[in-house]
């Protein structure tokens, strides 16, 4: 039976035997009995395999008709991906505004021959020129962060294919429910499960999804060799969270779109960034993410850093915190981070699953508290 992703996700690990547990138990063991040769053993040691990884990876991979490999964090997954793809090309053409940690990691790997070439992924001529330089990997993140710019994955996928470059898409913000980069030419997707995919702000974990069998085996190999393995309990939590991802992300996306429209009308707000709001990329945003554009938006308030800090403190519902994607709404003034290049007064907000009207009422009182 051909079922939809949301249904597949819930039944990915069904065991039909009478008396089987409905939920995979937590396999908190480092060792498995093994009397014979390792080649003949299904399991033997916890750095090599875990039934909890398998359960999570089956559910996560199923969402994209792909294989998934879980890691101890999103950056652990990124590291393994750079190592594995580095066997094909060590030159990474990377979206200029992609996740700071990934760009920092690429820079840190320079002594090992890795080269990062920043590019504006909205400028297709620049991407084509950058890829023409030498064998490369194209590394894209869309929507970008914190300006939520949408890049055209189908077009970038064609440019990558023409150059013979594998394309990596960091799909953390939209998640595999809203955006399917593997259908648009990506060789691999990176996802920080820490964010909306697990969704409950209770775990740090990451994964790569891919349909490239050789790459998947390399990633599994690097997980064993370098040891960035997810713990069984964290894996179990991420899997538990994942099962409600389609419900959560639909609600969060609808709320974020509502909040973005509300803020765009507010006299204290000077700019709002959300996919679909900008008429120049609205058609692309809705084509690439037809079921919603994710929980994350950003906006700028008149009065710069001081006004933004006061606003963040004045909210009763948006938790002052970094990161995003959880069931509780959260926000922060981004430029409080030294590495951030965003405007001083820019607030990045992540919409949770609270009643949307309550969030708007909270924003109303918080913005009113700024006065004038
Ligand atoms: C958080 C994040 C990461 C890194 O994930 P961790 O789980 O924190 O290691 C990578 N990419 C994006 C877009 C992120 O938001």
- Which residues constitute the domain of residue 358? 245-368
Nearest CA owner, ligand 1 atom 6: 74
Q: Is the pLDDT of residue 2 over 80?
A: no
Number of domains the chain contains: 2
Q: Are 119 and 199 contained in the same domain?
A: yes
Confirm if 232 and 226 have CB atoms less than 8 A apart: no
Region 287-298: what's the mean pLDDT? 97
Q: How far is the CA of 75 from the centre of ligand 1 (A)?
A: 6
The domain boundary residue, chosen from 242, 266, 297: 242
Helix (H, G, I), strand (E, B) or coil at 320: strand
Q: Look at 133 and 152; give whichever has higher pLDDT.
A: 152
Ligand 1 lined by 325 (C-beta under 6 Å): no
Q: Is the pLDDT of residue 257 over 70?
A: yes
- Catalytic residues, by residue number, are 47, 99, 170, 195
Q: How far is the CA of 59 from the centre of ligand 1 (A)?
A: 20
Ligand 1 lined by 198 (C-beta under 6 Å): no
The domain boundary residue, chosen from 190, 221, 242: 242
Q: Is the pLDDT of residue 372 over 70?
A: no
Q: What angle do CA 325, 277, 141 make, to 5 degrees?
A: 50
Predicted confidence at residue 5, as pLDDT, reads: 86
Sheet containing 330-333: give its strands across.
Answer: 269-273, 296-301, 346-350, 330-333, 319-320
Looking at the DSSP bridge assignments, the partners of residue 141 are 170
58-71 residue pLDDT tens: 999 999 999 999 99
CATH code of the domain in which 137 resides:
3.40.640.10
Looking at the DSSP bridge assignments, the partners of residue 298 are 273, 348
33-48 residue pLDDT tens: 999 998 899 899 999 9
Ligand 1 lined by 170 (C-beta under 6 Å): yes
Of 195, 208, 228, 348, the residue with max ligand 1 atoms within 8 A of its CB, to mutate for a pocket test, comes to: 195
Nearest CA owner, ligand 1 atom 4: 74
Nearest CA owner, ligand 1 atom 5: 74
Q: How far is the CA of 213 from the centre of ligand 1 (A)?
A: 24
Region 85-94: what's the mean pLDDT? 97
Number of residues that this document lists for the chain: 372
The domain boundary residue, chosen from 192, 224, 242: 242
Predicted confidence at residue 371, as pLDDT, reads: 83
Q: Are 17 and 156 contained in the same domain?
A: yes
The dihedrals phi and psi of 144, each to the nearest 5 degrees, come to -80, 175
Both tokens of residue 256? 């974020």
Predicted confidence at residue 269, as pLDDT, reads: 97
Ligand 1 lined by 99 (C-beta under 6 Å): yes
Angle of helix 213-226 versus helix 74-85 axis, rounded to 10: 120
Ligand 1 lined by 241 (C-beta under 6 Å): no
Of 75, 148, 238, the residue with max ligand 1 atoms within 8 A of its CB, to mutate for a pocket test, comes to: 75
> Up-side HSE of residue 180: CA atoms within 13 Å toward CB?
14
109-145 residue pLDDT tens: 999 999 999 999 999 999 999 999 899 999 999 999 9
Region 275-301: what's the mean pLDDT? 96
Q: Are 237 and 148 contained in the same domain?
A: yes
Q: Are 173 and 58 contained in the same domain?
A: yes
Region 72-87: what's the mean pLDDT? 98
Confirm if 329 and 359 have CB atoms less than 8 A apart: yes
> Up-side HSE of residue 185: CA atoms within 13 Å toward CB?
21
Query: Does the predicted model carry a pTM greater than 0.85?
Result: yes
Provide the percentage of residues in the chain whose pLDDT is more than 90. 93
Q: Are 50 and 12 contained in the same domain?
A: yes
pLDDT band at 1; cut points 50, 70, 90: low
Both tokens of residue 158? 């064609």
Instruction: Give the integer Cα–Cα distance in Å for 53 and 69.
Output: 8
Q: How far is the CA of 192 from the centre of ligand 1 (A)?
A: 5
Predicted confidence at residue 3, as pLDDT, reads: 84
Region 159-174: what's the mean pLDDT? 98
Ligand 1 lined by 191 (C-beta under 6 Å): no
Region 275-288: what's the mean pLDDT? 94
171-220 residue pLDDT tens: 999 999 999 999 999 999 999 999 999 999 999 999 999 999 999 999 99
Predicted confidence at residue 186, as pLDDT, reads: 98
Predicted confidence at residue 72, as pLDDT, reads: 98
Q: Are 193 and 45 contained in the same domain?
A: yes
Predicted confidence at residue 6, as pLDDT, reads: 87
Both tokens of residue 126? 């620049």
């Amino acid at each position: 039976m051909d079922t939809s992703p949301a249904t597949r996700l819930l039944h990915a690990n069904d065991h039909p035997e009478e008396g089987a547990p409905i939920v995979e138990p937590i396999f908190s063991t480092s060792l498995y009995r093994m009397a014979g040769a390792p080649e003949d053993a299904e399991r033997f040691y916890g750095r090599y395999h875990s039934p909890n990884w398998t359960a999570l990876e089956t559910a996560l991979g199923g969402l994209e008709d792909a294989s998934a490999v879980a890691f101890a964090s999103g950056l652990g997954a990124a590291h393994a991906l750079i190592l594995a793809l580095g066997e094909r090309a060590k030159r990474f053409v990377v979206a200029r505004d992609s996740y700071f940690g990934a760009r920092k990691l690429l820079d840190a790997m320079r002594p090992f021959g890795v080269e990062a070439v920043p590019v504006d992924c909205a400028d297709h001529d620049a991407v084509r020129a950058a890829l023409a330089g030498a064998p490369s990997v194209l590394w894209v993140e869309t929507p970008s962060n914190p300006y939520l710019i949408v890049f055209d994955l189908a077009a970038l996928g064609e440019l990558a294919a023409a150059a013979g470059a594998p394309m990596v898409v960091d799909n953390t913000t939209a998640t595999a429910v809203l955006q399917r980069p593997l259908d648009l030419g990506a060789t691999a997707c990176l996802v920080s499960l820490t964010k909306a995919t697990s969704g409950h702000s209770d775990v740090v974990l990451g994964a790569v999804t891919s349909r490239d069998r050789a790459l998947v085996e390399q990633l599994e190999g690097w997980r064993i060799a370098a040891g960035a393995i997810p713990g069984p309990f964290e894996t179990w939590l991420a899997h538990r969270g994942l099962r409600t991802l389609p419900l959560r992300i639909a609600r969060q996306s609808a709320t974020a779109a509502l909040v973005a429209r509300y803020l765009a009308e507010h006299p204290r707000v000077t700019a709002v960034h959300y996919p679909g709001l900008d008429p120049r990329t609205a058609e692309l945003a809705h084509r690439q993410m037809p079921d919603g554009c994710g929980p994350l938006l950003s906006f700028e308030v008149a009065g710069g850093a001081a006004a933004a800090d006061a606003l963040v403190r004045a909210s009763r519902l948006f938790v002052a915190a970094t990161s995003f994607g959880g069931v509780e709404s959260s926000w922060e003034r981004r430029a409080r981070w030294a590495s951030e290049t965003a405007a001083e007064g820019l607030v990045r907000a992540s919409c949770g699953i609270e009643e949307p009207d309550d969030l708007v009422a909270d924003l109303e009182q918080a913005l009113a508290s700024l006065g004038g």
